[in-house]
Amino acid sequence: MAEITENMIKSKDNLGAPENRIEGFLKVTGKAKYAAEFSVPNVLYGFPVRSTIAAGTMTDIDTAEAEKAEGVVKVFTHKNAMKFNPAPDVESTNKMTMPKSVLNTTAINSFGQYIGFVVAETFEQARYAANLVKATYQETDPKIDFDKYVDTAYKPDNANGAATDTQRGSMEEGMSNASKTLDITYQTPIEVHNPMEPHATIAVFEGDALTVYDATQMLGPSKVAISNTFNIPQEKIRVLAPYIGGGFGSKLRAWDHVMLTIMAAKMLDKPVKTAITRQMMQTNAGLRQLNRQHMRIGTSTDGKLTAMSHEVMTHTAVDEVFVEQAGFITRTMYDTPNQLVTHRVFDTNIQVPTWMRAPGETPGSFALECTMDEMADQLQMDPIAFRIKNEPKTNPLDGKPFSSRSLVQCMQVGADKFGWSKRKQEPRQNTKDNWLVGYGMAAASRAAPYQESSSRVKLSYGDDGLEAVIEMAATDIGTGTYTIIAQTAANCLDIPVDRVAVNIGDSDLPATPGSGGSWGAGSFTSAVDAVCEKAKSALKNKITSDSSALTTADELMKAAKLTEFEMEATEGPSEDSKKYAHFSYGAHFVEVWVDEDLGMVKIPRVLSTSAVGTVLNQKTARSQVVGGIVWGIGQAMTEETTLDKRYGSYVTRTFADYHVPVNLDVGDIEVHFIPEEDEHINRMGVKGIGELGITSVAAAIANAIYNATGKRMRTLPITPAKLVDYEKQPVA
């Protein structure tokens, strides 16, 4: 269990307390409606038709048989679809909002690309008819094979908004002055999103007003993207997403199925619903890129870093560039006087990559933290001591002071609670029957962004006393947003949590940046705290008598002789916060058992420490860390998207082929939060936690496997075959 520490309780028991989710009852009783579950009269059902090649041109498409099928209302292709304005050049600033020219081309850029859209009276009718659509193609050789096209790599404009390349000092000088050096390459595979709720959209026009029920993490940007695509004024568009069954980055942007659904609803003048399949999640909702990471590191005899380079090679789509900033974590983690970080990319006939939980840090930390472990082994130095030796005093990237940095405490507390002192430096020292037992650790870091958000509070009296309603265009992707908003308001207003109602998931409410990038909790709750404080201040101004002794909202409302009151506020980064570097930190400790003969790996125990400023809810925060660790186990041991290099089709198409961890793969997980106060990041002192939990987990597992077996696994996932035939494992 996670420890409740003093810093969790800001001023009242509401903050930090392990409150149950306030929407939990609705979810377990099936009353919480997700995008595909809204009841809309006379709704039709859409189902996309996908290409069966990865590269070439569609020479014709025959819809005659599909149009004759029972229940079919319309089949859309490039021949009869709406004509859209061409999309602008894709930049990091417009990926979420740019228009989408769906079905406006015959060019085929990836396997599974949408080439048609069937609308029918039922979902089953639409899906059946989609199989009757026949396309003919002029094929070209698809660019799939990483090694075949790596020589065409180029320098992109940016890496997910971060600088493509950075350099300080001289790598050559740093390496030549080093007493110990390593030159290693690591590789992480393509991964695909598999949230519990696949993507779904319902589009309803009432005159010129559009309502969209959508599984989206970002209400505002989705509205802008729809507006830009269909030339509909934003004030005529309403996007609703009250409940979301996981997103992990795949639901940050409006994908083609959203625009197909809206187009069909507009052209048919009837509501249309689309729910994409699990197979379409593999081909049409983004992915995490395969990253090949070349690491060079040099140190002095006492373990001080003299140089480190992190050179990333990856792929993107032929029609859109997205590059994951895998090298970013190396720029900021350790004090290195000579450093080089680069990103290079080449075009492929694979769907465009996108954000996935801890983009950049997840694959980048595997390379960085395994490299640190390998060097510690070369130095015969404890891995934690090696990291502490290279702890920076300011952010190495820009020289800014850290708003708070408790990485050393995370490692030290974690080591103590895990029993790290019992670990033996030399591999293969612990055995139990045919099992080799090993222990590994890795440090974790994740940027802690904070963005402007607005909120509205409505105060009124009910049967049990003062009640509050909080309204904002936030989203809850399963992280506990409803609950932490209620706790924040209850804390400031001094009322019980069960007297706070939370209304989110509606783009018509006060604007927020949505959920993603670990900015949600701090951004939302800071706005809620601000509006509640503003409301109390405004109430004080309405009181003619001395109000200095009045502190609660109830006292102020009664003194002002009001039964209802409403206030809005906007809160964003202060000038002070911009002077600091903001990061969350953690450390993961792992015990593994490896079968000497079969290469099977068991992970009976994981212990994690996190320093994330104010913990708003101990229960939901722990859940976020645990979820990240489980995904980290999947990254390390099972998850890999495999493509047929000849045709560009997917070998891994469903959960039968794309393996994620199940209960038997996950042992005991122990989570501890390190007391930390951050006075600079935002008014609540909250830093992101959702993506920190996955960062470096794979490295900790790989390091533990080395401690057990003496085998360095540098290519993920770590399968039994790679461990048994270690000398034959793919070398990146």
Positions marked catalytic: 691
Task: Identify the CA nearest to 697 among candidates 606, 572, 573, 570.
Answer: 606
What is the C-alpha to C-alpha distance for residues 202 and 240, in angstroms, rounded to an integer?
10
CA distances from residue 521 to 15, 352, 456, 654, 664 in whole angstroms, order as listed: 13, 28, 16, 32, 31
Secondary structure of 165-226 as H, E, C letters: CEEECCHHHHHHCCCEEEEEEEEECCEECCCCCCCEEEEEEECCEEEEEECCCCHHHHHHHH
Distances (CA, A) of 75 to 122, 265, 716: 14, 13, 42
* CA-based radius of gyration for the chain: 27
From residue 126, how far is each of 119, 356, 359, 565 by CA, in Å? 6, 30, 35, 50
Q: For residues 467 and 500, is the Cβ–Cβ distance under 8 A?
A: yes
Angle between helices 618-637 and 697-709 (to 10 degrees): 50
Give the tokens for residue 706: 């080395």
How many residues appear in the chain?
732
Burial 561-589 (b: 16+ CB within 10 A, else e): eeeebebebebbbeeebeebbbbbbbbbb
Distance CA 427, CA 409 (A): 26
Q: Cα 28 to the chain's mean position, in Å?
A: 25
Whole-angstrom distance, CA of residue 182 vs CA of residue 27: 51
d(CA 494, CA 17): 15
* Residue 559 phi, psi dihedral angles, 5° rounding: -65, -30
Closest among 295, 296, 306 to 389, alpha carbons compared: 306
Task: Let me know: does 516 contact 691? Beta carbons within 8 Å.
Answer: no
Q: Is 646 exposed, middle or buried, given 0-12, 13-18 or 19+ CB atoms closer than 10 A? A: exposed
Indicate if the alpha-carbon torsion angle 168, 173, 175, 180 is positive or negative.
Answer: negative
Collect all residues with Cβ–Cβ distance below 8 Å to 560 and sequence separation of at least 6.
539, 542, 543
CA nearest neighbour of 435 among 605, 600, 661? 600
Please spell the DSSP secondary structure of 689-717, one letter per residue.
-TTTTTTTHHHHHHHHHHHHHS----BSS
| Alpha-carbon separation of residue 419 from 370, 601, 605 (angstroms) | 21, 21, 12
The total of other beta-carbon atoms located within 10 Å of residue 450's CB is 26
Number of separate helices (H) and strands (E) present in the chain: 18, 26
**Backbone region of residue 16 per phi and psi (left: phi > 0; alpha: psi in -120 to 50; beta: other values):** left
480: left (phi over 0), alpha (psi -120 to 50) or beta: left
**Is residue 682 a contact partner of residue 522, using CB atoms and an 8 Å limit?**
yes
Helix axes 361-379, 697-709, angle to 10 degrees: 30
